[in-house]
A and B are shown apart, each in its own frame.
Chain A
Amino acid sequence: MAEEMRIVLRNYGKVDPLNIDTYVAQGGYQSLDKARSMDKAALMAEVKKSNLRGRGGAGFNCGMKWTFAAGAQADQKYVIANADEGEPGTYKDRLIMENDPQSLIEGMAVCAYAIGATKGFIYLRGEYPELVSTLNAAIAQAKDKGFLKDFDLEVRRGAGAYVCGEETALIESIEGKRGEPRFKPPFPPVIGLWGKPTIVNNIETYANIPAILEKGADWYAGIGNAAYPGTKVFTLTGDVVNKTFFEVPTNITVRQLIFDFGGGIVGGKKFKAAQIGGTSGCFIPESLLDTEVAFDTMGAAGLSLGTGATFVMDETRDIVDIVTRIAGFFEHESCGKCAPCREGTMRTAEIMEKINEGKGSVKDTALLDKLGTVMSYSCLCGLGQAAPSPVLTTIKHFAADYEAKFK
């Protein structure tokens, strides 16, 4: 059986989140020292070479992103940690922040040094109020110990909008505006917070940085799937035996994740579907269980990795009912800025409800399919583009479940 490998959770259970000395005792902040002794270009080349790709769901090469901000000329640059973790079923970032906040802070400080930023923000999910004091204490201790030097770091709390996990909506929110995405380009590394070059990375991404600098890019690049190396933290929920989290190399399969790590289906029932990546994730049928969980292998199979949240459903689950609820979620969380998402999420929910109530027909699934496809490539931001995934993948892989509901 494949084994867990802890990189971002390397200090889980080993450090006291409220005592920076315990982090230093594990070798903490040596990577930041090392980074500061390096030429900035060489530092970013090292991160780039590790092929660390964003763990928030978009999978962009982290080091390359940093070079864009480093290359932009500006009197002020910003580093932001996206801790808006709003995908239902996802709690990997919370694990890192509540157990090992210094890993995040060290990763951010490395980034700040690399791109030349002196100000950072941790944009914290509104529903994580208990983490505010942990993070503030951790920042204060890092400052007191002199680790942060001229890097000033601040916690900003979201107000519960799902869309604020989208990096430009997050930036708008920090600026005090409505949480709505901006069109891209320009991308935040060039024009971001208050118009300045800004790096927004996920918590899990930052937490990888100290380990990469400590052990080297080659070490990291050699772990798991070559195109999306390293580990990924998965959080398992639903009808799976082990409803918990695992950090695993990226070359394991979905089947291994659910049946080896997850211990299979509760009560010896049969597997029906898994949704990976959060509420906007694709529904995975039995036939695709041998897909590797890495970003590109999932993409090639018409699936998505997303945040790694894994929701497992057994044979008794009503897929159409679940997707109807998901459609309601997106209708509620669409910010309303762009027409296809604002109207499309509402229509998707409306038509799903109709089908779920037994009033639908094949015409409705055909319309949903067309609408979802259009949304997936026409909406302004990732929310609207990903929102139809559960609908599209269930129509594709679970057509019989829909037919069973038709009038």
Chain B
Amino acid sequence: MINVTIDGIKASVPEGSTILQAASEVGVRIPTLCYHPDQSIKANCRVCVCEVEGNRLLVAACAMPVFEGMVVKTRTPKVIEARKTIIELILANHPQDCLNCIRNGNCELQELAEEYCVRENPFEYKVRGFEKDFSTPSLFRDQDKCILCRRCIEACSVIQSVNALGLQERGYHSMVVPTMGKTLAESPCVMCGQCIHACPVGAIGEVEGINDFLAAVADPEMIVVTQIAPAVRVAIAEEIGMTTGSMGMDTFVTGLRQVGFDYVLHTNFTADLTILEEGNELLKRVKEGGTLPMFTSCSPGWINFCETFYPDLLDNLSTCKSPQQMFGSLVKTYWAEKMGVDPSKIYSVSIMPCVAKKFEAARPEMNASGYQDVDLVLTTREIGRLFRMSGLDFSKLPGSNFDSWMGAYTGAAVIFGATGGVMEAALRTVYEVVTGNVLEDVNFNVARGFEGIKEAEVDLNGLVVKVAIAHSLSNARKLMDQVRAGTSPYHFIEVMACPGGCIGGGGQPITKRNAKRIERIDALYAEDAGLPVRKSHENKEVAKLYEDFLHEPLGHKSHELLHTHYHDKHKTVL
């Protein structure tokens, strides 16, 4: 342990601690801007500078390791003047349109401006004047707001291994740009949106669909139907000032009706359906010598990644559409039939933890119902805004149930939102289908946890299935390189593009710490454990769907509505 004094307070901290860490131990908060708890130290904003006795220079608290006897002062006039001047410098070329900004109220720079009482900036206001990039349906970039902390670059290159963002020019002309100065759409961006979580300000955000939603609600002709992905519920509470996982599903459903949805259904329904289709597809590939390993196909950022970087392995991808898109094609066919409504009047909205889902819904091939299957994707953050706009007090709202035909779900569907969840859900079903035995303990703990890559062997009455699970695309890349090299030992690989799976998706409440992602995962497993039915093949509404409409997994109608094909995007990128 190292003994230090911070603002007169003595502390004993582990060797290798930074001043920032040591200060937080003794309750001294040092302001930061480029610092990100789950990324490498950057020390480029210099907002965290402090005085260290014996040093003429101020030191960056985020980067400076403590030494025995170190005396640190974090709030001397010299320090305060330096920090305030740096904040003023950054603000002087930052658009002063906080009121219109997507990060209004949730911006690290805005907080600093407030904390340091920046009133009259002595530097002349001078915005760089870049054009905004709205080239993708998922993400936009507002480069004028970029403060060059480089956190998005690290998210894109280190966590995701996509390298769609880089630096160009130098000095005052430095800018973060999509590779080779192209637009995001022309870059290798897979639209996972992890850069949004990394961004301290409003330089990157989701393309908002709130106005489209309000227009649909205002149209008396339209039947506005929604599906909710499993990861949304555990995180939505964070958007309205409640603790993670604390909003009950029933009040959430009421809230959605209050903001204007006519019918509230659940993506979990098609998550269970995915297990039946995908599980049978896997068994078919194993038995008939199909392409293995098979990859899951629920995560649209991951699909984009495959199409961009591994177009030679597209045959390994399950042909199953994602639960969102299965839902989309069924709501305008099966559900419309059951409800006796005109599918052309259905406005299908999905509520997702994901920004890549916006791109997926807009794919031209996603029209099996005869219409664009999903009309609008709203992220968890956008639903949070709708809830705030509507002034709902969830502590007082009564609960209500999902609507019929496509609202029932099992615990297996709930855990789709966590890394390893799809694998576990599939194993619960595949085990019983193959062995004919009842699975006594449905918990496959090998599939759980936050390690980047997990692997397991499952013995299905002599049929040994080797599986692997990856979250974050840099981890997926490791498994993909094995497959490409012909050394992959697996039958089945689950990949989720985002850290932690969908609970860490690009559309979730702005998340800096993986610890928050783990909290959400825990909330999902708790929900699963509390449900009476935890195996997808025991979902009665799904059984009814097969009985009345689809007839059998992988059947003719399934192929038409629930399966898709992929495109080689490699050339368009390079």
CB distance from B255 to the nearest CB of A (A): 41
The number of residues on chain B lying at the interface, defined by a beta carbon within 8 Å of a beta carbon of chain A, is 35
Give per-residue flags for B158-170: 1 if the beta carbon is below 8 A from chain A beta carbons, else 0.
Answer: 0000000001011
Tell me whether B167 and A338 are in contact (CB under 8 A): no
Provided the pairs A347-B89, A377-B57 are in contact, do residues A183 and B43 lie with their beta carbons within 8 angstroms? yes
Give per-residue flags for A331-358: 1 if the beta carbon is below 8 A from chain B beta carbons, else 0.
Answer: 1111111111011111100100000000
**Residues of the B chain whose Cβ atoms lie less than 8 Å from the Cβ of A334:** 170-172
**Residues of the B chain whose Cβ atoms lie less than 8 Å from the Cβ of A350:** 124
Tell me whether A185 and B170 are in contact (CB under 8 A): no
Tell me whether B46 and A377 are in contact (CB under 8 A): no
Tell me whether A336 and B82 are in contact (CB under 8 A): no
The number of residues on chain A lying at the interface, defined by a beta carbon within 8 Å of a beta carbon of chain B, is 30
Assembly CA distance A167 to B43 (angstroms)? 17
Tell me whether A342 and B172 are in contact (CB under 8 A): yes
Assembly CA distance A379 to B89 (angstroms)? 13
Assembly CA distance A183 to B64 (angstroms)? 9
Assembly CA distance A370 to B84 (angstroms)? 11
**Residues of the B chain whose Cβ atoms lie less than 8 Å from the Cβ of A380:** 43-44, 46, 60
Assembly CA distance A343 to B46 (angstroms)? 12
- B566 at the A interface (CB under 8 A): no
CB distance from B544 to the nearest CB of A (A): 59
**Residues of the B chain whose Cβ atoms lie less than 8 Å from the Cβ of A333:** 171
A370-388, CB < 8 A from B: 370-371, 374, 377-380, 385
B277-294, CB < 8 A from A: none
Assembly CA distance A379 to B41 (angstroms)? 16
**Residues of the A chain whose Cβ atoms lie less than 8 Å from the Cβ of B81:** 370, 374
**Residues of the B chain whose Cβ atoms lie less than 8 Å from the Cβ of A340:** 46, 82, 85-86, 89
**Residues of the A chain whose Cβ atoms lie less than 8 Å from the Cβ of B119:** none
Tell me whether B86 and A370 are in contact (CB under 8 A): no
- B49 at the A interface (CB under 8 A): yes
- B445 at the A interface (CB under 8 A): no
Instruction: Choose among B58, B63, B90 the residue that contacts A378 (Cβ–Cβ < 8 A).
Output: B58
Instruction: Choose among B58, B122, B170 the residue that contacts A377 (Cβ–Cβ < 8 A).
Output: B58
Tell me whether B57 and A374 are in contact (CB under 8 A): no
**Residues of the A chain whose Cβ atoms lie less than 8 Å from the Cβ of B56:** 377
**Residues of the A chain whose Cβ atoms lie less than 8 Å from the Cβ of B57:** 377-378, 385
Instruction: Choose among B46, B63, B124, B167 the residue that contacts A339 (Cβ–Cβ < 8 A).
Output: B46
Tell me whether A335 and B170 are in contact (CB under 8 A): yes
- B554 at the A interface (CB under 8 A): no
- A367 at the B interface (CB under 8 A): yes
- B45 at the A interface (CB under 8 A): yes
**Residues of the A chain whose Cβ atoms lie less than 8 Å from the Cβ of B44:** 337-339, 380
Instruction: Choose among B43, B45, B92 the residue that contacts A347 (Cβ–Cβ < 8 A).
Output: B92
Instruction: Choose among A332, A344, A378 the residue that contacts B49 (Cβ–Cβ < 8 A).
Output: A378
Give per-residue flags for B503-522: 1 if the beta carbon is below 8 A from chain A beta carbons, else 0.
Answer: 00000000000000000000
**Residues of the B chain whose Cβ atoms lie less than 8 Å from the Cβ of A367:** 122-123
Tell me whether B46 and A379 are in contact (CB under 8 A): yes
- A36 at the B interface (CB under 8 A): no
Assembly CA distance A171 to B221 (angstroms)? 66
Assembly CA distance A86 to B71 (angstroms)? 37
- B497 at the A interface (CB under 8 A): no
Provided the pairs A374-B82, A374-B85, A380-B43 are in contact, do residues A343 and B93 lie with their beta carbons within 8 angstroms? yes
CB distance from A397 to the nearest CB of B (A): 21
Q: Give the secondary structure class of B's interface.
A: loop
Assembly CA distance A200 to B85 (angstroms)? 33
CB distance from A295 to the nearest CB of B (A): 14
- A178 at the B interface (CB under 8 A): yes
CB distance from B125 to the nearest CB of A (A): 12
CB distance from A18 to the nearest CB of B (A): 37
Give per-residue flags for A307-338: 1 if the beta carbon is below 8 A from chain B beta carbons, else 0.
Answer: 00000000000000000000000011111111
Tell me whether B65 and A336 are in contact (CB under 8 A): no
Give per-residue flags for B386-422: 1 if the beta carbon is below 8 A from chain A beta carbons, else 0.
Answer: 0000000000000000000000000000000000000
- B487 at the A interface (CB under 8 A): no
Provided the pairs A339-B46, A343-B172, A380-B43 are in contact, do residues A178 and B89 lie with their beta carbons within 8 angstroms? no
CB distance from B67 to the nearest CB of A (A): 10
Chain A residue nearest in CB terms to B84 = A374
Tell me whether B85 and A178 are in contact (CB under 8 A): no
B134-177, CB < 8 A from A: 147-148, 167, 169-174
Provided the pairs A338-B45, A377-B82 are in contact, do residues A331 and B172 lie with their beta carbons within 8 angstroms? yes
**Residues of the A chain whose Cβ atoms lie less than 8 Å from the Cβ of B122:** 367
**Residues of the B chain whose Cβ atoms lie less than 8 Å from the Cβ of A336:** 148, 169-174
CB distance from B48 to the nearest CB of A (A): 10
Chain B residue nearest in CB terms to A299 = B56
CB distance from B367 to the nearest CB of A (A): 45
Assembly CA distance A342 to B43 (angstroms)? 14
Tell me whether B174 and A378 are in contact (CB under 8 A): no
Assembly CA distance A338 to B86 (angstroms)? 10
Assembly CA distance A346 to B44 (angstroms)? 16
Tell me whether B45 and A342 are in contact (CB under 8 A): no
CB distance from B33 to the nearest CB of A (A): 8
**Residues of the A chain whose Cβ atoms lie less than 8 Å from the Cβ of B85:** 340, 370-371, 374, 378
CB distance from B569 to the nearest CB of A (A): 28
Chain A residue nearest in CB terms to B87 = A339
**Residues of the A chain whose Cβ atoms lie less than 8 Å from the Cβ of B173:** 336
Instruction: Choose among B47, B60, B174 the residue that contacts A342 (Cβ–Cβ < 8 A).
Output: B174
Assembly CA distance A297 to B78 (angstroms)? 25
Chain B residue nearest in CB terms to A337 = B44
Instruction: Choose among A185, A332, A337, A378 the residue that contacts B86 (Cβ–Cβ < 8 A).
Output: A378
Assembly CA distance A347 to B92 (angstroms)? 10
Instruction: Choose among B63, B64, B93, B167 the residue that contacts A178 (Cβ–Cβ < 8 A).
Output: B167
Assembly CA distance A397 to B64 (angstroms)? 35
B1-50, CB < 8 A from A: 41, 43-47, 49
CB distance from A174 to the nearest CB of B (A): 18
Assembly CA distance A166 to B121 (angstroms)? 32
**Residues of the A chain whose Cβ atoms lie less than 8 Å from the Cβ of B167:** 178
Give per-residue flags for A213-252: 1 if the beta carbon is below 8 A from chain B beta carbons, else 0.
Answer: 0000000000000000000000000000000000000000
Tell me whether A338 and B171 are in contact (CB under 8 A): no
Assembly CA distance A379 to B170 (angstroms)? 16
CB distance from B88 to the nearest CB of A (A): 9
**Residues of the B chain whose Cβ atoms lie less than 8 Å from the Cβ of A335:** 170-171, 174
Most chain B CB within a 10 A radius of its CB, from A335, A345, A380:
A380
**Residues of the A chain whose Cβ atoms lie less than 8 Å from the Cβ of B49:** 377-378
Most chain A CB within a 10 A radius of its CB, from B63, B64, B169:
B63
Assembly CA distance A332 to B170 (angstroms)? 8
Tell me whether B86 and A374 are in contact (CB under 8 A): yes
Tell me whether A183 and B86 are in contact (CB under 8 A): no
CB distance from B168 to the nearest CB of A (A): 10
Most chain A CB within a 10 A radius of its CB, from B47, B90, B148, B172:
B172
Assembly CA distance A156 to B89 (angstroms)? 36
CB distance from B52 to the nearest CB of A (A): 11
Most chain B CB within a 10 A radius of its CB, from A185, A331, A332, A377:
A377
Assembly CA distance A378 to B43 (angstroms)? 11
Tell me whether B148 and A183 are in contact (CB under 8 A): no
Tell me whether B46 and A345 are in contact (CB under 8 A): no
Instruction: Choose among A161, A183, A371 the residue that contacts B60 (Cβ–Cβ < 8 A).
Output: A183
Tell me whether B86 and A346 are in contact (CB under 8 A): no
Instruction: Please name the 3 residue pairs, one residue from A and one from B, whose CB atoms are nearest each other, closest first.
Output: A336-B174, A343-B89, A346-B172
**Residue positions of B touching A, CB distance < 8 A:** 41, 43-47, 49, 56-58, 60, 63-65, 78, 81-82, 85-86, 89-90, 92-93, 122-124, 147-148, 167, 169-174
A/B interface sample: 15 pairs, CB < 8 A: A178-B170, A183-B43, A334-B171, A334-B172, A336-B173, A338-B45, A339-B46, A340-B86, A340-B89, A343-B89, A374-B81, A378-B46, A378-B57, A378-B85, A380-B44
Known: A178-B167, A346-B171. 20 other contacts (CB 8 A): A185-B64, A331-B172, A334-B172, A335-B170, A338-B44, A338-B45, A339-B45, A339-B90, A340-B46, A340-B82, A342-B148, A342-B174, A343-B89, A343-B90, A346-B172, A347-B92, A370-B85, A374-B85, A379-B46, A380-B46
